[in-house]
A and B are shown apart, each in its own frame.
Chain A
């Protein structure tokens, strides 16, 4: 077993990275366009996973659960922005104030789930799947599905951002909202779309996360939030491609490091990697340090 340690660890890392990528790209996509650090993201993942679970319980397929989670995530995120966050922004709440608003919103969502569904654990009804060995790596069919979904979504997001008018409008809004508006871009609509897309990815990430953990409760998504933010920062905040790369690096770093030392340190290793990268490149791998400095200011 020792001889193939890095290979199987790589496989484990790819699954973790796939889940992380869906979430981190969704997180950073919205942040890039709106400049709101949405700390309710993890709790929305849980809520979306619960919606998917509801579909699963009434006999829906896994695809239907994923779709339900994505649709719920998209609508809930857009509504959150329109009716909770935007009024604060209009009243001049700054970046730090918005952090508190989103944090509070997350706590409300988490406790709403707890109050409504109780301190219970939920598990999707999924048939026991076979484990496949692929060049020294082990995957279940669900893990193949998670990786495939992540790859497909990443391609779609990348094409949308680089090859469509909407993508260009989003990038323009992210770079300079005032200039984008003067140039005729309907930035409000672009921001709505960003929240919808981010929410859909959040919903998908929520469902695949709990498929992988097999059981979940009201805090599950929030437990994952720090790693999501870390992946987004590693790649460069507001950079979807960066978030993807950040997710892959963190996912693989955690699992491969566990092959060489106590797995207790795997999260430590991930964050050491993050700190080292940010020391060398404060804006992250794909970001620029000036943007970070201006948002800090």
Chain B
């Protein structure tokens, strides 16, 4: 064991890492089960980042960075042993992408205990304030997304809403704030319906929704559940405007619901809320270039990832960790972790960089840097969360209104 650490040059006592062994980022998310689409989305961010880092000569003297998939199956019972196995059996593991909402409560403590930096994609509000030193999140929490959905609906003039959410922990995270926010803004929540997932039918639930006569439906459920629900809503009542959470802005969700109600109807009735990310600028150019360099390696069709903020944020997460290692001159997590916040938040006089290559160059020149990536500016708070702006997006990827933090705060 000692020999392998010495060979890798990442013994925690060493001040400067001189090892050359390949480093590994663990991509810890569901790759099977109902949320099997989450994992490929993470990989679609990790692989371009690894390619960009390798193209720039790697981290310190480590030329290679691997992305290792670890399947949590979206279930805490499977995720706990999977997390332990990932940590115990992966050489030169330097960071984690994940966990998702499905398994975060059970596995964040495990990664934290193992002193392994993780960039979680969980939206759970319980992590808004936390004491996990190794936990980071660069996407807004679900509860903030709920307020954004309420603000958008109110701005559109909707007065009577129905909240339809799956009974899984991920979906339920947004429910309290979207309902409270909409009421706070003067709207009425006529019905709050919880859908047991993946049933063969939701006709009874549809009847209840129809009886409530909503102007708008706030929605989050897995793709299959949503498809069945909306197909039956269309059959038994009629479609009404849908405002979805970030979790609905995914290719599998669109694919499933499009198959159920048709592409035209999906475009007409649906809009989703997602964390805002710029559509142009040097960071987007770097992201697109990196993605194109691994075009055939990511889950196909690769074009789905270009404007998707989830892989963009995963890409940014890996670049941030890499720059932090470069700044710390160490790949040891306990040594480089404090540089993550430093590189993201910046300090007075820091040079703003938009790619790993640019950041590495400035660091080697002895300068301090601030990374502004594909998802825009990242600023970690005391709990290592980076709240951001929100934007509305349609099923064909067209981006609409951007909601500022001040607008979102109106719903609180």
Q: Do A and B come from one complex?
A: yes
Measured CB to CB, the residues of A under 8 A from B are 1-2, 8-9, 12, 15-16, 19-20, 110-111, 114, 118-124, 128-129, 131, 138, 140, 209, 212-220, 223-224, 255, 258-259, 262-264, 266-267
CA distance A131 to B203 in the complex (A): 13
Query: Please, could you name 30 A-B residue pairs with CB atoms under 8 Å apart, sorted by A?
Result: A1-B210, A2-B211, A8-B207, A9-B207, A110-B32, A111-B32, A119-B37, A123-B227, A123-B259, A129-B235, A138-B235, A212-B200, A214-B259, A214-B260, A215-B224, A215-B228, A215-B255, A215-B256, A217-B224, A217-B256, A219-B33, A219-B198, A220-B224, A223-B34, A258-B205, A263-B205, A263-B208, A264-B194, A266-B204, A267-B196
Interface residues of B in 251-278 (CB under 8 A from A): 252, 255-260, 262
Output the least CB separation between B370 and chain A (Å): 36
Interface residues of B in 24-47 (CB under 8 A from A): 31-34, 36-37, 39-40
CA distance A111 to B78 in the complex (A): 15
CA distance A122 to B259 in the complex (A): 7
CA distance A223 to B34 in the complex (A): 9
B167 within 8 A of A: yes
- A121 lies within 8 A of B205 (CB): no
Output the least CB separation between B30 and chain A (Å): 9
Most buried by B among A1, A216, A259: A216
Picked from B197, B260, B299, the residue with its CB within 8 Å of the CB of A118 is B299
| A114-B36, A215-B228 given; A9·B204 CB < 8 A | yes
CA distance A70 to B247 in the complex (A): 35
In the complex, the chain A residue whose C-beta lies closest to that of B32 is A114
B207 neighbours in A (Cβ, 8 Å): 1, 8-9, 12, 259
Interface residues of B in 322-361 (CB under 8 A from A): none
- B201 lies within 8 A of A212 (CB): yes
B236 neighbours in A (Cβ, 8 Å): 131, 138
Output the least CB separation between B83 and chain A (Å): 20
- A213 lies within 8 A of B224 (CB): yes
- B204 lies within 8 A of A216 (CB): no
Which bracket fits the contact residues of B? 35 or more
CA distance A161 to B260 in the complex (A): 38
Interface residues of B in 299-339 (CB under 8 A from A): 299-300
Output the least CB separation between A115 and chain B (Å): 9
A2 neighbours in B (Cβ, 8 Å): 211
B168 within 8 A of A: no
Most buried by A among B197, B235, B299: B235
B94 within 8 A of A: no
| A262-B194, A264-B194 given; A213·B36 CB < 8 A | no
B223 within 8 A of A: yes
- A213 lies within 8 A of B200 (CB): yes
- B262 lies within 8 A of A128 (CB): yes
Interface residues of B in 201-238 (CB under 8 A from A): 201-205, 207-208, 210-211, 223-224, 227-228, 231, 235-236
Q: 19 new A-B pairs (CB below 8 Å) besides A16-B200, A214-B227?
A: A110-B32, A119-B31, A119-B32, A119-B39, A119-B40, A119-B299, A121-B224, A121-B255, A209-B200, A213-B228, A215-B255, A215-B259, A215-B260, A216-B224, A217-B36, A223-B198, A263-B202, A264-B167, A267-B196
Output the least CB separation between B148 and chain A (Å): 26
A216 neighbours in B (Cβ, 8 Å): 224
B193 within 8 A of A: yes
B231 neighbours in A (Cβ, 8 Å): 214
A114 neighbours in B (Cβ, 8 Å): 32, 36
Output the least CB separation between B352 and chain A (Å): 37
Output the least CB separation between A12 and chain B (Å): 4
- A215 lies within 8 A of B227 (CB): yes
Closest 9 CB pairs of A and B: A123-B259, A258-B204, A119-B36, A215-B227, A121-B256, A215-B256, A214-B260, A12-B203, A223-B198
In the complex, the chain B residue whose C-beta lies closest to that of A131 is B235
CA distance A267 to B196 in the complex (A): 8
- B36 lies within 8 A of A123 (CB): no
- B34 lies within 8 A of A219 (CB): yes
- A120 lies within 8 A of B255 (CB): yes
CA distance A90 to B213 in the complex (A): 61
